[in-house]
Structure 1
Amino acid sequence: MRPLTDGTELLVGRDGELSRLVAWIRDVAEGRGRAVLVDGEPGIGKSALVRAGCAAATRADCQVFWGAGDELGQALPLLPLLDALRITPAARDPRRGAISELLHGGAVAGKGADLAAAAAEQLLALVDELCQDGPAVLVVDDLQWADRTTVAVWSRLARSVRQLPLLLIGVLRPVPRRDDLRSLFRNVGPGERLRLGRLAEPAVSELVAALAGGPPGAELERLADGAAGNPLYLTELLDALTRGSCLDVDDQGVVQLSGGATPDSLPEAIADRLGFLPEEVRTVLRAAALLGDGFSVADLVTVTGTSLTGLLPALDEARAAGVLVAAGDDLAFRHPLIHRALYDEMPTAVRIAWHQAAAWALAEASAPVERVARQLLPMVSTTDSREPVPAWAVRWLLDVASPLIGQAPAVAVALLRRAVRDAPPGDAATDVLTCRLANAYYRVGNIAQAERIACRGLEHVSDPDVLVDLYTTVVQCRGATGRSAESLDALNAAANRPGLQARHRARLLVLIARTHRDLDEVDTAGEVATAALAELGQAEDRWATGWALHVLSLVAMMRGEWTAALPLFERAMANARGDPALTDLTLLLHINQSVTFGALDRYPDALAAAERARELADRTGSVVRLTQAQSALGQLLLGAGRWDDALAEVDVLPDDQKDPGVVCCDHGVAAIIHFHRGEAAAARWHLAGAAPYSERTGNWVVESLVRARSLAFEHAGAPERALAVLTAVLAGGDAGEDLLGDAARLAATLGDTRTGAEIEARVRAIAAESTVPHRRALGLYCRGLLERDATTLLRAADGYRDAGRPLSRAKALEAAAIAFAEARAEDRGSARAAFTHALDLYTELGAHWDVARLRALFRAFGIRRGPTVKHRQSTHGWDSLTPTEGRIAALVVEGLSNPQIAARLYLSPRTVGTHVSHILTKLDVHSRIDIAREAARHQSASG
């Protein structure tokens, strides 16, 4: 952690940069947030400048939080932010405590949970809460060494600073410049970047005079020129000259060189500083260097085995020498280059031995997993090291592998790979380590290596629990690469092995059932899942029971037996309740339950189930399930006519966090809405966004994307091509109900009675035995279109009303109006009524393209009566806000934070953040305070 000093540091030649920084601090003190990047070469004064700004922020009553990346710790996630926001195992407030518990493996999180992602979400919520306490400045120094999760959180905060009284500052060097670091510059404007160059000549002379105690003579000025305007080099150079008594002041007060050796480089100047320290102090500092740029004194006590009283003299001398500085309750090296010099002066073999000893001491003291792992990493990252992993470290890994995989899977891979390499083959501990290593490789996305290791482990494993875990990894790997069928022979052979207990055989049968389900072998999947439950009999195995019921629920859904699926969800969720190992299953059940409720037109229940899934996925860090829950919500809101809310949901998470099918589904939902609203450019942008992902969905038909592609041709005036898109999919047997309805409508428009009749026959079979309102309505709709029967179409509209599907209802009313208009003249009144009702519905949805299209159509029939509902025309200003945005804006005015608004409206904080961002854009304002001002102005203007 970089230090925050109480006084003002010597800062020369940076008046312009400091003035800009102080102006931004004034803005944040008034509630206007901003994201800023400060970059420049090492030693150029970036941290000194920002510390001076933070001193001004403290005087302005801003909260200040400071953390830093560390080259030695960049493999472990979120350390800079945990440091800055004071997240420790002893954290007492609820939010910090939850984050600490999550990362240290104590929270409820199922196998496969991404603990770092979950902690990141909690950190974002913590920042929001802290900003409610007052304006805040959050600095991440040495951002170039931060892990990717920290950089991602910084980037998300940068996109939301307009909603918070937060000045977010990133400090980084020009190199290394990873792709994720480059992307940060797209999140800040060119006017919000401070690039510090080398000091100009007048500033160099001023700094040298301040450091030397008087104006420099000609020789000292020439020597200072060699520092190339780098303030750190100048500081170290002058300190070295002072320590060596190389400076004299002449009669005119000019500082002159008086001989002696002078450092030729910054590293040599730093080495000179360290060379003046006694060896016992340097020994303590080497131990501190193992812990990073900043370190806990308690950890230093642990790794040195020395009492605090025994360490104090060395620490005090190091502070007096300008090597260490206070950093809150801890200590830090005055500059990372000083830390690096101490670290690099140790021979590699000695350094690794010290790291191992430090790791053992920290493990014995029950230090957090990431601190022990950080000390073990240098051993496994040294390619020429043949030293085996110590026995104590193997035992430690066996205990902490699961939380370590969840928190830092890449670190887990490095440590487990070396442990497996050194472990004796055939040993029970080796089998467990191999199993964990395969899981870790799967978690980092190296599917091929995960499968190879799992298959190698299966050759000699004897423990049935490990056997099932390895087969689970193999099934996951082959399923992810479209090779599910390859697992069946081995799984069947394993399930028939003699001597297996019932629960192990049941678990293997569940894997077989899931594989058949993946292969769309629905009947076989159901039979094997039933056999798994029968195998258990009276034996209790919550994993096997829960997943078998899950497969049976999927089988019911795939058969269209939606009502039969509901009790299966309930049984499976009751079985999984309270078991952390079944968290992922619980998430799947909630998501599929929401889909099932939607299919049964039970929208309130569907939305509630999806919300429960989203909240649980957020809390446990399951990013995959979170994106699926978010996508399910988007689809439900599309069907329910809550289009603004649907757009907010599909925009919440970036595409790179989603499964390809989810990306396509979300872009399809958004494109459908934008096409109906007449926003063709936005719709086509979403179609283009889906294109790279649609090739990776295999045979899975993403219905929303197909509908959107068909609508694109309708917009282009090519209904025959629009119909061809739908019939091509339907010919493959994918009879999506919305696809069938649109295909029937287009066939009727084109006069294609053969296609219309084929679709009507398929729909009649679907609707025949169904009591679900929208299915019965679909049957009436397709029959009414085929027969051009307005009365049947009005009955279809009534069915869609009962189902809560306004767009489908509007289409049915439109078709009825056309049928009336094309019939006898005396039906003009009925045509006008149906026409007006359809327009009202399209208007309420904001479907301006449909409104314009329908008006033009009915002008041709001589029916000119306009809609009875006034639709929203504004795209900017208070009147442009949607109902949800209006409610959220009112709560912003009340002073509620995004998490508080989310709790009030049963939304996720991220969804609220998306809505607030839309509000800021529509009102053309820059902060939540501006929203309050705009609200007051609007209220005053409206009386």
Structure 2
Amino acid sequence: MHLIDRRLECRRLDEVLRGAQSGAGGALVLCGDAGVGKSALMEYVVGQAAGCRVVRVAGIAAEMELAYAGLQHLCAPILDRLDQLPDPQRDALSIAFGLSAGPVPDRLLIGLAVLGLMSHAAEGHSLICVIDDFQWLDHASVQVLSFVARRLAADPIAFFIATRTADPEIANLPTIALEGLSRADAAALLDLVWTGPLDEPVRHRILAETHGNPLALMELHRDLMGHELAGGFGMHSPAGLSARIEESFLRRVEALPDDTRRLLLIAAAEPTGEPTITWRAGTLLGIDTEAAAPAVADGLAEFGIHVRFRHCLVRSAVYRSASLQERQLVHQALADVTDAKRDPDRCAWHRAQAANGPDESVAAELERCADRARARGGLAAAAAFLERSTMLTLDPSLRVERALAAAGAKVESGAYEAAADLLAVVEQSPTTDRQAARADLVRAQLAYVLGRGSDAPPLLLKAARRLAPIDPALSRATYLRALQAAISAGRLSMGGVMGVAEAARHLSYPADPTLTDLLLDGLSTYCTEGFVSALPILRRAVTAARSDVSECERNLLWLSGIAALHVWDDESWDVLSARHIELARTAGALAELPLALISRSMMLTFSGELTAAGVLLDELRIVAEATGLALGPEPRLILAAFRGDRAEVRAIIESTTADIMLRGEGIWLSTAEFCQALLNNGAGDYAAALPLAERAAAQADLASSSAWAAVEVVEAAVRAGETSTAVDTFARLEQATSASGTDWALGIQSRSRALLSEGPEAERHYLDAIERLGRTRMRSDAARAHLLYGEWLRRERRRVDARAQLRIAYDMFESAGMTVFVGRARSELLATGETLSKRATVATGPQLTPQEAQVARLASEGLTNGEVGARLFISPKTVQYHLSKVFTKLRISSRAQLADVLSSQQS
């Protein structure tokens, strides 16, 4: 294909194409105005892709509301490889494409399925994916395709994407901002398409006004009248080039015979490009096949195996030029010829566009379309169907019901302004108590996702109160959501956790409570009546969570872990956090996985397994990138504090505090204070640690760090000479730990009591703490008990005994990577007269990249390439690519050697 200019662009396209042909995948985005030449460059790619397998799709505005429509068009030629996918991925993609029924598939699982499908389709021949008019693809397809495009490193697959506007989903892909042709090349193109006489002033004016836009140069001269060609009199500057080009096409369309224009309108309204449907609808409207000839002769469209417009602006010009009545007539004809059983959603959508007023039968069918779209995971499509259904509904009560459903779907799909508009429809209508409560729920969801976390608890509480006499079970579930939101908002919440807990204490609970009921009862009791009263209920909740958790209760495992944490049950916290990750992965609930990873990494951090926690946080980063999740600072912040990385702790706090305040997530303020207190205690700066620990400990309303901040208060206060503060704080701590009675609780109690004791009594408590904590998973707490005991022994001038305890603490801290405590233990050891030398570091050869380290670790655990790929959101072929580099760097030849090599590197 011959192109004027575009040499640099073609070179970039060729590079990506050659990369795919040599096994190194990649993506390239062309971004530019309508008519600037994106489609021509896409055709260039197709022409250059000899010997490759090419699949292509063009976004169409009329299909933006149909979930996965674009993705299905693109993948249709390669669906013969569907059976080669792992069962969860195959099922997810089948459901998304409407090929089978099943539970709503996770969006990321669909992304993995498409990545795997394309990887298999690329075996033997490189796969070239050409995606034009990306800005008009449906949202579900955009998310999946952008996910896949970012993960093509080791697959012979190339993505070429053309779009008018820069989409945030593809912002990090290599992009060419396509500008108009240079003056010289624009002049050459004009000379090529305009062979008649043209006055030089007019020629200059055309070149200036078209700004080198190729389509404008080829089309706008058609509109110039004789007096404009001779001197340029009467020419006007276009307000917008795209609009001017479309106007040019519009004039050509208006000059066509009536039947031809109506045939083009049918094609514009039916985005599949299926000629059978177009001709059948035309027959219904009395249009014969000869009507296509004038449009074909004028180069506006082609009618062959597919019906295609010359340019997307032709389609929009055709549709825009038609009257409302003409559009309704055409959509009705298309609805009549579309198979309602095979393609019910498209049929219903045409019926909706054909409706000239409220129509209950169409509105009801759109509701059913929304259910089908949601079942496929198409939230945006479901929201669009429900919104249109609302507009076609006359009955006030039904209109409110549908508006509420549409608003909820809009929030879930990220269309927040549209959700607010639909809530306004509800507010202007009479509502039942249940509808008013549901509206409050949607408002609370909207407040939370818009970063106004402190606004959500009172809105949820209002909804829970309204639901109490109508639906007690839903009311209790809403109370629990309000409590969870208040925990997150912490001290920034209006009314706080206590307000929600006090309201929940007046509820009645069923004789056979669910996990939701137990958590709500236990946590609200904890806030209002104290730890001792709440303990038996919280233990029942933890026990229930450790038994078989239903699908709908899986998201309660995070709160169940918080409950285990508060009752000092380290074993249950370990089990629940591990199970949360396992269930999220097994169910393919990848959007839920980040919270599970945060919970598990926090548990591992507290237990002193910092390396394992760091691995999970690396995985969390990968998941966050895949999901677009904006993470709060807690995960990395707590790990940095335990590692003793003062610079990182300071950087995280300084960079996130303002945003946290804006979002109303007060729990992170308590977390930051606890982390700083821990750091300062570790470094022996007790005066700095004390006020921070006191502020964190004062949040006695389920802030997850409050109890552990109290432990830091006791140590800092004793060492800073603030004995009364230490005694008062210990009294509150002792009440909870005595009631709990676990080794973890009683070990912490003995360690804290020892700090307040003297002589043999202090030693007895230190030894008790060491024994009890040694039986738990909390190795960091056990190490601190050895450290404090060693420090006490040194001050008692028992240097030999002190060295033994301090050496144990030193080794435990160093093994865990708790460097600030390593430094403190080292100083104490030196003070006993022990000589310490820094351990020599052994060169380990070439270092693995973070991605290689992740792949190596998972492969060493026995996971297959497919399982590793699913975990890290890459294709099995990319896993194999990274493993080959790992084997070379580590000088091994098999997966069986990985575990030993990695273990020796960490020791």
* TM-score (structure 1 length as normaliser): 0.73
Which digits, 9 at most, give the CA deviation of each residue in 1:12-47, with x for residues without a partner? Answer: 322332122212222233343434222233222222
Structure 1 position 828 matched with structure 2 position 802: no
Q: Is the 8 A contact 1:525 1:555 kept in 2?
A: yes
Shift of 1:232: 3.1
Q: Among residues 229, 232, 236, which one is paired with 2:215 in the alignment?
A: 232
Structure 1 position 615 matched with structure 2 position 585: yes
Structure 1 position 123 matched with structure 2 position 92: no
Percent identity of equivalent pairs: 19
Q: Is the 8 A contact 1:281 1:317 kept in 2?
A: yes
Structure 1 position 939 matched with structure 2 position 891: yes
CA distance in 1 between partners of 2:409 and 2:250 (Å): 41
* Equivalent residue number for residue 770 of structure 1: 740
CA distance in 1 between partners of 2:844 and 2:738 (Å): 45
Q: Is the 8 A contact 1:77 1:148 kept in 2?
A: yes
Residues 157, 883 of structure 1: alpha-carbon distance in 2 compared, 3 angstrom cutoff:
closer
Q: Among residues 31, 46, 58, which one is paired with 1:39 in the alignment?
A: 31
* Equivalent residue number for residue 814 of structure 2: 843
* Equivalent residue number for residue 639 of structure 2: 673
Residues 488, 883 of structure 1: alpha-carbon distance in 2 compared, 3 angstrom cutoff:
closer
CA distance in 1 between partners of 2:306 and 2:422 (Å): 41
CA distance in 2 between partners of 1:403 and 1:90 (Å): 24
* Equivalent residue number for residue 4 of structure 1: none
CA distance in 2 between partners of 1:367 and 1:818 (Å): 76
* Equivalent residue number for residue 563 of structure 1: 539
Residues 812, 397 of structure 1: alpha-carbon distance in 2 compared, 3 angstrom cutoff:
same
CA distance in 1 between partners of 2:835 and 2:293 (Å): 89
SS of match in other structure, 1:193:
strand
* Equivalent residue number for residue 369 of structure 2: 400
Residues 940, 785 of structure 1: alpha-carbon distance in 2 compared, 3 angstrom cutoff:
same
SS of match in other structure, 2:570:
coil
Gaps of 5+ in 1: 1-8, 242-256, 380-386, 496-503, 535-543, 578-582, 917-925
SS of match in other structure, 1:37:
strand
CA distance in 1 between partners of 2:431 and 2:817 (Å): 61
* Equivalent residue number for residue 283 of structure 1: 262
* Equivalent residue number for residue 295 of structure 1: 273
Residues 22, 411 of structure 1: alpha-carbon distance in 2 compared, 3 angstrom cutoff:
closer
Which digits, 9 at most, give the CA deviation of each residue in 1:715-744, with x for residues without a partner? Answer: 998643332122123234247333233333
Shift of 1:237: 7.8
CA distance in 1 between partners of 2:650 and 2:33 (Å): 43
Q: 5 Å matches for 1:454-603? A: 459=431, 480=456, 482-487=458-463, 490-491=466-467, 494-495=469-470, 520=498, 522=501, 525=504, 528-530=507-509, 532-533=510-511, 547-548=516-517, 551-552=520-521, 559-561=534-536, 562-569=538-545, 573=549, 577=550, 583=551, 585-596=552-563, 600-602=569-571
CA distance in 2 between partners of 1:52 and 1:401 (Å): 39
Q: Is the 8 A contact 1:634 1:646 kept in 2?
A: yes
Residues 80, 769 of structure 1: alpha-carbon distance in 2 compared, 3 angstrom cutoff:
same
Q: 5 Å matches for 1:147-166? A: 152-153=143-144, 156-157=147-148, 159-162=150-153, 165-166=156-157
* Equivalent residue number for residue 580 of structure 1: none
Q: Which moved more, 1:747-756 or 1:590-599?
A: 590-599
Q: 5 Å matches for 1:910-921? A: 910=873
Residues 879, 654 of structure 1: alpha-carbon distance in 2 compared, 3 angstrom cutoff:
closer
SS of match in other structure, 2:603:
helix
* Equivalent residue number for residue 85 of structure 1: 75
* Equivalent residue number for residue 369 of structure 1: 345
Q: 5 Å matches for 1:380-391? A: 387-391=356-360
SS of match in other structure, 2:29:
strand
Q: Among residues 631, 639, 642, which one is paired with 2:606 in the alignment?
A: 639
CA distance in 2 between partners of 1:82 and 1:872 (Å): 53
Residues 436, 23 of structure 1: alpha-carbon distance in 2 compared, 3 angstrom cutoff:
closer
SS of match in other structure, 1:67:
strand
Q: Is the 8 A contact 2:714 2:729 kept in 1?
A: yes
Residues 79, 208 of structure 1: alpha-carbon distance in 2 compared, 3 angstrom cutoff:
farther
Which amino acid is the alignment partner of residue 334 of structure 1? R
Residues 779, 140 of structure 1: alpha-carbon distance in 2 compared, 3 angstrom cutoff:
farther
Which amino acid is the alignment partner of residue 638 of structure 2? I
CA distance in 1 between partners of 2:408 and 2:637 (Å): 37
Which amino acid is the alignment partner of residue 586 of structure 1? E
SS of match in other structure, 2:180:
coil
Q: Among residues 740, 745, 767, which one is paired with 2:710 in the alignment?
A: 740
Which digits, 9 at most, give the CA deviation of each residue in 1:832-885, with x for residues without a partner? Answer: 3333333333333333344344434533443333578x7898898139899755
Which amino acid is the alignment partner of residue 169 of structure 1? F
Residues 70, 508 of structure 1: alpha-carbon distance in 2 compared, 3 angstrom cutoff:
same
Structure 1 position 803 matched with structure 2 position 776: yes
Shift of 1:341: 2.4
* Equivalent residue number for residue 344 of structure 1: 320
Shift of 1:66: 2.8
SS of match in other structure, 1:295:
coil
Which digits, 9 at most, give the CA deviation of each residue in 1:190-229, with x for residues without a partner? Answer: xx535343155357537965x79xxx68759998873654
Residues 86, 151 of structure 1: alpha-carbon distance in 2 compared, 3 angstrom cutoff:
same
RMSD of the TM alignment (CA)?
A: 5.1
CA distance in 1 between partners of 2:303 and 2:861 (Å): 42
* Equivalent residue number for residue 756 of structure 2: 786
Q: Is the 8 A contact 1:67 1:139 kept in 2?
A: yes
CA distance in 1 between partners of 2:91 and 2:287 (Å): 32
Q: Is the 8 A contact 2:384 2:406 kept in 1?
A: no
Shift of 1:713: 5.9
Structure 1 position 13 matched with structure 2 position 5: yes
Q: Is the 8 A contact 2:81 2:117 kept in 1?
A: no
Residues 467, 676 of structure 1: alpha-carbon distance in 2 compared, 3 angstrom cutoff:
closer
CA distance in 2 between partners of 1:815 and 1:31 (Å): 58
Q: Is the 8 A contact 2:359 2:392 kept in 1?
A: no
Which amino acid is the alignment partner of residue 99 of structure 1? L
Structure 1 position 99 matched with structure 2 position 99: no
Residues 412, 353 of structure 1: alpha-carbon distance in 2 compared, 3 angstrom cutoff:
farther
Shift of 1:396: 0.8
Which digits, 9 at most, give the CA deviation of each residue in 1:44-98, with x for residues without a partner? Answer: 2222223322443453x4x544333334444555543343233999996564662
Shift of 1:287: 0.6
Shift of 1:393: 1.1
Structure 1 position 651 matched with structure 2 position 651: no
Q: Is the 8 A contact 2:334 2:350 kept in 1?
A: no
SS of match in other structure, 1:787:
coil
The count of aligned residue pairs is: 827
Which amino acid is the alignment partner of residue 286 of structure 1? L
SS of match in other structure, 2:76:
coil
* Equivalent residue number for residue 921 of structure 1: none
Residues 723, 473 of structure 1: alpha-carbon distance in 2 compared, 3 angstrom cutoff:
same
* TM-score (structure 2 length as normaliser): 0.75
Which digits, 9 at most, give the CA deviation of each residue in 1:660-699, with x for residues without a partner? Answer: 9xx44xx122022224445444433432235412454466
Shift of 1:162: 4.2
CA distance in 1 between partners of 2:120 and 2:79 (Å): 24
Q: Is the 8 A contact 1:454 1:471 kept in 2?
A: no
Structure 1 position 722 matched with structure 2 position 654: no
Q: Is the 8 A contact 1:205 1:221 kept in 2?
A: no
Structure 1 position 683 matched with structure 2 position 656: no
Shift of 1:349: 3.9
Shift of 1:335: 1.8
Which amino acid is the alignment partner of residue 618 of structure 2? A
Which digits, 9 at most, give the CA deviation of each residue in 1:364-420, with x for residues without a partner? Answer: 3452536744874698xxxxxxx4232331221343344556856666666655654
Which digits, 9 at most, give the CA deviation of each residue in 1:804-841, with x for residues without a partner? Answer: 223223322222222222222xx333333333333333
CA distance in 2 between partners of 1:681 and 1:128 (Å): 41
* Equivalent residue number for residue 812 of structure 1: 785
